[in-house]
Chain A
Amino acid sequence: MPDRPSGTDTQPSDADLVVRAQTGDHAAFEALVRRYQGIAVAKAYAVLRSRQDAEDAAQDAFLRAYRALSQLRTPGAFGSWLLRTVTNVALRAATKRAKRPIALADPEAIHTPPPELEVNDAIAQLPEGQQQVIHLFYGQGYRCAEIASLLGLQVSSITARLSRARRALRDLLGEESDRR
């Protein structure tokens, strides 16, 4: 297997950050949070439909991930592991909320919908690996080679995953990808 760079010139890889966070480096953990906070909130929002609840769920998921970090044996898999945790936390929060009387017309939920609710929902329907790449490419502005290096994967895997995700999103959004 060919050697892969560990992170980009300026950005350490997920695996590097996880290993540092496992040894108690809080700055490394904060960098991981910064890297994944957007996709974590978006994913929780797809379940909870409330910005505040989504941020709470994302925060809860990060803290749970932090507590279990020392047991993560494949540090490079942090992203998809975290996204699964976010999903589980959000589903639990949704179940708890379903048992409460529903606040009709929650003003917060109504007044700050995402500008592209449909797009957010479409992203949430992708497999987690594709969501992660879409987030890093469009949300964080990394190039494919940088994402490959952050995740410890081959560039060809990332471009294949990104292409599949783009095609799937166009289908989900009902947009024409062919001519005319």
Chain B
Amino acid sequence: MNCHWVEQHIDAYEIGDLGSRDHELLDAHLAGCETCRGLLERLRATDQRLRDALAWAEPGDGFARRVAEAAVHLRPRRLSLARVAALAAAAALCVALLQMARTRPQTHLPPPSHLAGPEEVVAGQLHDPYGRLAHTRVDGHPYVAVAHTALNLGPRSHFVFAQGTQFARAPDPRDATLAMSVHSGTFLGHVGTTTTEVKLELSPELGGAIARTAGCQFYSTGCPATRLATTQSLEPQELADWPEDIRVHVFTGHLAIDLGTHQLSLQPGDSCIIAAGTTAGATHTIEAHAAELRRTIGQATLERRRRYQALRAQYAHRLLFLRSAKGSHLPQRARRIALLNELITSHTQGLARLEAARPQILELDAAEFELRRHEQLREEALDVFQRLLDETTPS
């Protein structure tokens, strides 16, 4: 055993994943090697920081009890026949209202006279797992389409139509990009570029099927019957009522997911997350979207924001220290506290100005959260492969 071996296995040693023989050998090495003991001490210091940070986040004892008591008064949501009927009635009402809205005069955009009539009329509305009308972002901006709203889509635009969307499309005479006029319904999310990655197929029924090429291996969660290398047909309405995100990662081959209102086409390495209760999906192209946002916002602005946040946190720490018993002996305490308060206020104002002026920053935050979800999905997929290896390796 040498220092390099210790470096490779010290994590396993710390988390209790080392066999007893290796554990003893490593103990013996540590007893005689100051460098490796230093490494272990640094790792343990980091572990202690993690414990401190997580201990801070634990709410008081009353929290769980309060939540559980509040839950007693909640009725768990079940999709009863009555609820389906109510949703259908609400959907019919919405469609009727939207049809009426279509006849209203255009207020904020020129009438889409150059556009053909609706290509598709789809009845119904989508709801999220909590019963609210599902809607999300179009290229990052919260948006619910209304009657006769025209959207300009460039070649890198990302779009998905929710069920209930009526639209017409034609080349925009102004800049020759694809233009769409959304007559009613909801315009959801982003699934990839309009040119290569995603084929949209609007169809009136909700439901669909997942098809794969021979040899296609994929992993999914949220839709239990579609785990590795299976094919699953879904009943109409089943996806709309699905309570969880369906998360798919493709390892090999080609995977097409027909979601009724659109089709996702996934290549090896692609991930997609189909939001719970909707038929919207997002592919790995969220990475490109986030990168584009970072370019738009500019490194200098992001750096300034990071600095403001870091400084504000530092001042808050110092303030906490000064107000604590430890800091009480320090000279000029009141003056320091006043100065730190002033600095915090100034940086909070700076941060607020920065964020108010650049809505893309908030959009980037959301995109980065979405990216983390994709990372988690890949992580899970790797775990599945690890598990398969565990199960197939002879012991």
Contact = CB atoms under 8 A, between A and B. Distances in A.
Contact of A26 (B46, B63, B71, B345): B71
A139 B51 contact: yes
Contacts of B49: 116, 119, 173
A179 B70 contact: no
A71 B127 CA distance: 14
Contact of A71 (B71, B79, B221, B319): B79
A9 to B, nearest CB: 17
A156 B386 CA distance: 8
Interface in A86-104: 87, 91, 94-95, 98, 102, 104
Contacts, number: 242
A143 B78 CA distance: 36
Nearest to B45: A175
A120 B383 contact: no
Contact of B379 (A69, A113, A115, A161): A161
Contact of B349 (A26, A104, A115, A160): A104
Interface residues of A, number: 91
A158 to B, nearest CB: 9
B372 A110 contact: no
Contacts of A134: 50, 54
B373 to A, nearest CB: 7
Interface string A52-84: 000100110011101111111110010011001
B36 to A, nearest CB: 7
Interface in B1-58: 3, 7, 11-12, 14-17, 35-36, 38-39, 42-43, 46-47, 49-58
Contacts of A109: 316
Nearest to A44: B57
Contacts of B15: 137, 144, 159, 162-163, 166
Given A33-B63, A127-B376, A179 B46 contact: no
B386 A179 contact: no
B96 interface: no
A155 B42 CA distance: 26
Interface residues of B, number: 81
A130 interface: yes
Interface in B355-381: 355, 362, 365-366, 369, 372-373, 375-376, 378-380
A42 B53 contact: yes
Interface in A161-175: 161-164, 166-167, 169-170, 173, 175
Given A95-B362, A120-B57, A129 B11 contact: no
B77 A73 contact: no
Contacts of B319: 110-111
Given A71-B243, A116-B50, A127-B375, 11 more contacts: A2-B391, A37-B58, A39-B57, A91-B366, A91-B369, A113-B317, A114-B56, A125-B372, A130-B376, A138-B54, A143-B16
Interface of B: 3, 7, 11-12, 14-17, 35-36, 38-39, 42-43, 46-47, 49-59, 63-68, 70-72, 74-79, 129-130, 142, 221-222, 224, 241, 243-245, 313, 316-317, 319-320, 323, 341, 344-345, 348-349, 352, 355, 362, 365-366, 369, 372-373, 375-376, 378-380, 383, 386-387, 390-391
- 7 residue pairs, one from A and one from B, having the closest CB atoms: A71-B243, A139-B54, A127-B376, A42-B57, A30-B68, A116-B53, A119-B53
